[in-house]
Amino acid sequence: MRNHIVRKFLAPLASVVILATAALPAGAQEAADDTNITLELNNLSPSEAGCLVTFMVRNSLDAALDQLAYEVVLFDGKGLVDRMIVLDFSPLVKDKTRVRQFDLDGISCPDVSRVLINDAASCAGQDVADGTCIRALETTTRTEIEFGS
């Protein structure tokens, strides 16, 4: 008897929740998932200095970023740390995709087996909370190199 009463109460409530969610504009439903920084490892190509690394970065946070730099770790073909560097992606306006290239001296592109985003070295913008740039980071790659945080 008790289960029947609970179901009788919850069934209409569930319908209201479903209808309320469906009534939200499409943009509002997607907005919750669209507060990130997308960083794509797009390409590595040999250069005179060593290796030219190309990234595509998009700021989908609610604010522009005056400063954004990540501490990046490069691993060699044996999986050993080759070096740690800080790459500066600043500034990043809201909802804009940018291409950033870094010419890494003394690095042979074929020897890079993994690129790790270790931490956010700097992250600043109006109303941007501490830790946002690492928590909001989403990584992708178009290369065969392992890439992520």
The enclosing domain of 104 has a CATH number of 2.60.40
- 108 and 128: one domain? yes
pLDDT value for 25:
43
**Do 99 and 55 touch, CB atoms closer than 8 A?**
yes
Residue 23 has pLDDT above 80, yes or no: no
**145 against 32, higher pLDDT:** 145
> What does residue 111 show for φ and ψ, rounded to 5 degrees?
-85, -10
Model confidence, pTM: 0.76
- 57 and 115: one domain? yes
Q: Which amino acid is at 39?
A: L
pLDDT level of residue 1 (50, 70, 90 thresholds): low
Please, what is the average pLDDT of the chain?
A: 85
- 67 and 90: one domain? yes
- 6 and 45: one domain? no
> What does residue 96 show for φ and ψ, rounded to 5 degrees?
-125, 135
- 88 and 121: one domain? yes
- 86 and 104: one domain? yes
Residue 26 has pLDDT above 50, yes or no: no
pLDDT value for 121:
97
- 144 and 113: one domain? yes
99, 42, 44: which is closest to 75 by C-alpha? Answer: 44
pLDDT (tens digit per residue) in 60-112: 999 999 999 999 999 999 999 999 999 999 999 999 999 999 999 999 999 99
- 67 and 110: one domain? yes
Domain that holds residue 1: 1-30
pLDDT value for 22:
45
Domain count for the chain = 2
pLDDT value for 7:
52
pLDDT value for 34:
59
pLDDT value for 105:
95
C-alpha to C-alpha distance for 10 and 111, rounded to whole angstroms: 59
